[in-house]
Chains A and B, each alone.
Chain A
Amino acid sequence: AQSVTQLDSHVSVSEGTPVLLRCNYSSSYSPSLFWYVQHPNKGLQLLLKYTSAATLVKGINGFEAEFKKSETSFHLTKPSAHMSDAAEYFCVVSVGTGRRALTFGSGTRLQVQP
């Protein structure tokens, strides 16, 4: 079985400063990894995904993540935070098929201070 750990439940940054949201995973097989964003009272939206191609993945809104197999990590970064980035972010690991394929992290709430 796979698991995913988001190391910070809350992250607060100032507008214009870098963002780092940390995600570690464990899996017996080669996983796919995803980051989703959820704005208040909305569903989740896919930010980016890693599926065994390039290890540095670029997503929407200037976010990117790097798959590091040796560290079992998939941290999400953005060079400069914007007020509109304030939201909940979920890291997801996917292995195989079926209802047990997906495992969600517990989420990281990003606050952006003016």
Chain B
Amino acid sequence: EADIYQTPRYLVIGTGKKITLECSQTMGHDKMYWYQQDPGMELHLIHYSYGVNSTEKGDLSSESTVSRIRTEHFPLTLESARPSHTSQYLCASSEFSGNTGELFFGEGSRLTVL
């Protein structure tokens, strides 16, 4: 069973607030990902990390930022939340080599901005 955890699972906040979505994995994986998923829709990559101190923007433009100071931790931050940020955010990890596509997902953080 995968060991990747996201907190909070659900968050309702007001416009303009700063939020951080936490993601931690205990598998020692180098690659980590943040996906954004609207209800019933496909996943869009918003951030990607090859390893410590290595991050890239994904294919979908996002106002969020990420950091990767430790291998196991990949938090996502929104400095000033807006209603357009309402969505589900999924964190995932994979091994650096081998089967690139085998991702392990957290259960997601569902964000609602009022």
| Chain B residues near A88 (CB-CB < 8 A) | 40
Also in contact, A107 and B100, with CB within 8 A (given A44-B105, A45-B105): no
Cβ distance B16 to chain A, nearest Cβ, rounded Å: 27
Q: B101 near A105 (CB under 8 angstroms)?
A: no
- The interface residues of chain A, by DSSP majority, are classed as strand
**Does A26 count as interface, using CB distance less than 8 angstroms?**
no
The residue in chain B whose Cβ has the minimal distance to the Cβ of A45 is B105
Within 8 A of A (CB), among B76-114: 90, 92, 99-108, 110
Q: Per-position contact with B for A22-51: 1 when CB-CB < 8 Å, else 0?
A: 000000000010101000011111100101
Looking at the complex, which one of A43, A94, A106 makes contact with B100 (CB distance below 8 Å)?
A94
Interface size class of A (residues with CB under 8 A): 20 to 34
Within 8 A of B (CB), among A76-114: 88, 90, 92-94, 96-97, 99-102, 104-107, 109
* B interface residues with partner A (beta carbon < 8 Å): 4, 6, 33, 40-43, 45, 48, 56, 58-59, 90, 92, 99-108, 110
